[in-house]
Amino acid sequence: MNPAHRAPAAGPAVSADLPELPVTFRPTRTRAVLLTLGAGLLAAFVAIAVLLPSDGARPWHTSDRAWMVLTGVIVSGVLVLLSRPKVVADRDGVTVVNLTTRRRLEWAQVIRVNLRPGDPWVYLDLADGTSLAAMGIQPGIGRAGALRDARGLRALAEVHGSGGTSAQ
């Protein structure tokens, strides 16, 4: 490990939890479930569009089939969007990617990393007095992994940033 990334000797004991930089935190199980479900649903919508009858009492026309495929693409796209969140930490700071937004923060802007019981994801308390949801670390499916990731991000914020913490 690079000596510049170690916790100071007099500071908090975070070196055991300090990940190598750069590091990406993301809810891998949730992501796997969402992407698998999206692919399966898209395949099902396409199969329905192809297999439904084009003759008989209520025939499916080309436009009906196209709408069925488009519906599958939209549903799959929403699931891909839900699988997007991640937190990327590097030497210069943190990039938080949520559903539709991406925000780059310098380490000095991160005051505290919070993951309290019942929180759906990590919250970052920022130097400007606001809080930012970091949806890339969420305890939904994998609580132990989320706690480990929150501790790792907390340790990085303590070493590189300006703040304390409140993560379990």
Do both 49 and 77 map to the same domain? Answer: yes
Do both 91 and 78 map to the same domain? Answer: no
Do both 108 and 141 map to the same domain? Answer: yes
Would you say residue 100 lies in a domain?
Answer: yes
Do both 157 and 118 map to the same domain? Answer: yes
Do both 95 and 152 map to the same domain? Answer: yes
Separation in Å, CA 145 to CA 105, 140, 149, 150: 23, 10, 6, 8
Would you say residue 24 lies in a domain?
Answer: no
Do both 149 and 129 map to the same domain? Answer: yes
How many domains does the chain divide into? 2
pLDDT value at position 17? 63
Which of residues 77 and 142 earns the better pLDDT score? 77
Q: Write down the number of H helices and E strands in the chain.
A: 3, 8
pLDDT value at position 15? 53
The structure's pTM equals 0.76
Would you say residue 22 lies in a domain?
Answer: no
Q: Is the pLDDT of residue 165 over 70?
A: no
Neighbours of 160 (CB within 10 A): 21
Rounded CA separation 77/72 (Å)? 8
Do both 73 and 110 map to the same domain? Answer: no
Rounded CA separation 79/28 (Å)? 14
Do both 57 and 102 map to the same domain? Answer: no
| Residue numbers of the domain that contains 35 | 31-82
The last residue of a domain, from among 50, 82, 114: 82
The last residue of a domain, from among 23, 57, 82: 82
CATH number of the domain bearing residue 103: 2.30.29
Do both 158 and 97 map to the same domain? Answer: yes
pLDDT tens by residue, 115-154: 998 999 999 999 999 999 999 999 887 788 899 999 999 9
The last residue of a domain, from among 82, 97, 122: 82
Would you say residue 129 lies in a domain?
Answer: yes
